[in-house]
Amino acid sequence: MYRIVRKKPLNPTVTQMEIEAPLIARKAKPGQFIILRVDADGERIPLTVAGTNPEEGTVKIIFQIVGATTECLNHKEEGGFLEDFAGPLGTPTKSDGIRKVCIVGGGVGCAIAMPVAEEFHRLGAEVTSIIGFRSKDLLILEDEFRACSDRLIVMTDDGSYARAGNVTVPLKEMLEAGKRFDEIVTIGPLVMMKFVTAAAKPFGVPVTVSMNPIMIDGTGMCGGCRITLVDEEGKRTTKFACVDGPDFNGYEIDFDEAMSRGRMYAEFERHAYEEACSLFRKA
């Protein structure tokens, strides 16, 4: 059993928790994830490690309430326990030799992008961060990004906070103005990562994308996280986001296929979420 040390809402649909897990706290690196079960009858879900405190022995997770399991997780309180909390899993984000990096995060994907930005900052790289949200009410982690970024740009789709527009707008402006990056790391909705990759392609900047959004099982056994990579010669290769990634070369990802597969269980997830909400209301 794993104790919930702290719990904090970041916005109406996103919650941050710190879980007592000393072994994971000592080993986890930015870009890796854990698998948890809320209770003995619950499903396994992957969540990215959003930070660690090795001295305290805690691991930070940030999740969006979108389905039955995250609804159940959100009803857990400080002092409560999770049934399982296994990891770290996946491959850490590569940072060797990168001196100028642009981190592009969207929505709850910023929870994954933030520890990556912190790691580059710790290593002495020049960090430019662009974070985007649908509206001011959904903004998360602005202070944390500001603390580890040489430059931070905040975007909202509706213009309710900071600058109006999506994350590709300032990225294109910087690239067109001659700004150069050794790497662009983008983490967020699949459609956002697709367009970030497209915006960077004319300038030849390497793009790393995190394929966390399509993960299910987290061990490669379910096959739900399989993605197709297409190289420059058109050769197609199947990989698994959980064991081969979650980071991949953005120029090789078949985003259209990934987005199509990501929508397969949307209706099922919605019904499961509604059933979980009904159970909590009756309780």
- Which has the closest alpha carbon to 157: 136, 184, 141, 173? 136
Please indicate, yes or no, if residue 223 is contained in any of the structural domains.
yes
CA distances from 262 to 25, 160, 265 (A): 30, 29, 7
Q: Which phi and psi (to 5°) does residue 25 adopt?
A: -60, -30
- If asked whether residues 191 and 51 sit together in one domain, one would say no
Is 272 inside a domain boundary? no
Q: Give the percent of the chain with pLDDT over 90.
A: 74
pLDDT tens-place string over residues 26-38:
999 999 999 999 9
Question: In the block, which residue shows the tokens 């402006």?
Answer: 173
C-beta atoms surrounding 162 within 10 Å: 17
pLDDT band (50, 70, 90) for residue 262: low
Length of the chain: 283
**pLDDT score of 173:** 97
Q: Return d(Cα 208, Cα 269) in angstroms, integer.
A: 28
Does one domain contain both 167 and 250? yes
**Residue 67 is part of which domain span?**
2-89
Q: Please check the confidence at residue 58 and state whether its pLDDT lies above 90.
A: yes
In a domain, 17, yes or no: yes
Question: SS3 of 254, please?
Answer: coil
> How distant is the alpha carbon of residue 111 from its chain centre?
6
Q: Which of 122, 129, 123, 136 lies closest to 151 in space, CA to CA?
A: 129
Query: Do strands 58-64 and 45-53 pair parallel, antiparallel, or not at all (unpaired)?
Result: antiparallel
Whole-angstrom CA distances from 43 to 19, 155, 218 are 18, 35, 12
Residues 108 and 235 in one domain: yes
What is the distance, to the nearest Å, from the Cα of residue 177 to the centroid of all Cα atoms in its chain? 29
Shared-domain flag, residues 72 and 204: no
* 233-244 tens-digit pLDDT: 889 999 988 888
- CATH number, domain containing residue 55: 2.40.30.10
3-state secondary structure of 91: coil
Alpha-helical runs (H) found in 64-189: 68-74, 110-122, 142-148, 168-176
Based on the fold, state whether residues 224 and 106 are members of the same structural domain. Answer: yes
Residues with Cβ within 8 Å of residue 281, at least 6 apart in sequence: none
Report the share of the chain in percent with pLDDT over 70. Answer: 89
Output the average pLDDT for the chain: 90
54-88 burial, b at 16+ Cβ within 10 Å, e below that, comes to eeebbbbbbbbbebbbbbbbbebeeeeebeebbbb
pLDDT of residue 261: 72
Residue 173 lies in a domain: yes
